[in-house]
Homo-oligomer: A and B are copies of this chain.
């Protein structure tokens, strides 16, 4: 028998399946919003393809992150949950956790980069969470989290490297499957934004369970294409430094351990887009879909619109994963992205 040095969690990640996502769907029904799968005649004409956009920017708190957060909190022991939740996040997971904690009536402490978008900081505080700022370039958020968790008996809710979080995010894929069937669409290609890879893992698992021939790809910002390079080499690759990017939501240093164990099974590769391509996608979503998409949430759409992936003649799904963007950045995209 071969010797294995997998951790228990890694072994569970290898068994992560549609059953985990269906269990999550059972917990979140009636709380999480079924977001629409949108399509534009003119956009289809322009691309020579059928493009379906899963509008997770319309989810509660403005991103898919509420799905995983609510699923994770639902599955906790009530007395443990009551002591409080702790997390670190650049903003979208923060808001998801803050609203989920509020719904369960438990306190939440959020460690956020001091340079996170103003809207994300303000919204998180308005949901009633305590925001602890840290320096993205000098401090280690995991270490700060560990310290605070031990001191106050809080439970750390990780942003992606957690099977319940991945399963919660996967419910966006489960909905997309049902919506594709309602539209009589059989997708051949699907793309979603990848930060730590939680959405990718859940979404790809859900979609491939119903459409086994589907190719699923990650979309990332240039300079943060750790998932693409990890998929290409078969082992987790970190990004070199923290170059500037407008895609704040997905400037993650390296794929998660657990998420990558799933994504290396389910994904066919990854693509990276420039800031200008993200802006162009935001402007197109404004014009053709009437959606507000944030830069990091627009990278999958950008990969298609920029021609970085070939969609000619195909039915393609992209996830628009979030819409929490400051007005000035959005207004810039409308001007620059045209």
Contacts and interface: CB of A to CB of B under 8 A. Distances in A.
Given A36-B58, A99-B41, A290 B126 contact: no
Nearest to A327: B334
A269 B259 CA distance: 55
Interface string A238-270: 000000000000000000000000000000000
A106 to B, nearest CB: 16
Interface of chain A, helix or strand or loop or mixed? helix
Nearest to A103: B41
**Interface residues on chain A, size class:** 35 or more
Nearest to A338: B327
Interface string A12-36: 0000000000000000000001111
A60 interface: yes
A65 to B, nearest CB: 14
Interface in A322-338: 323, 327-328, 330-331, 334-335, 338
A290 B331 contact: no
Given A290-B323, A291-B290, A292-B290, A123 B330 contact: no
A62 B334 contact: no
A290 B327 CA distance: 11
B334 A57 contact: no
Contact of A42 (B36, B126, B283, B331): B126
B127 A42 contact: yes
Nearest to A288: B62
Contacts of A123: 42
A78 B323 CA distance: 43
**Residue of A41, A99, A102, A127 with highest tally of chain B CB at under 10 A:** A41
Interface of A: 33-36, 38, 41-42, 45, 55, 57-58, 60, 62, 99, 102, 119, 123, 126-127, 283, 286-287, 289-293, 323, 327-328, 330-331, 334-335, 338
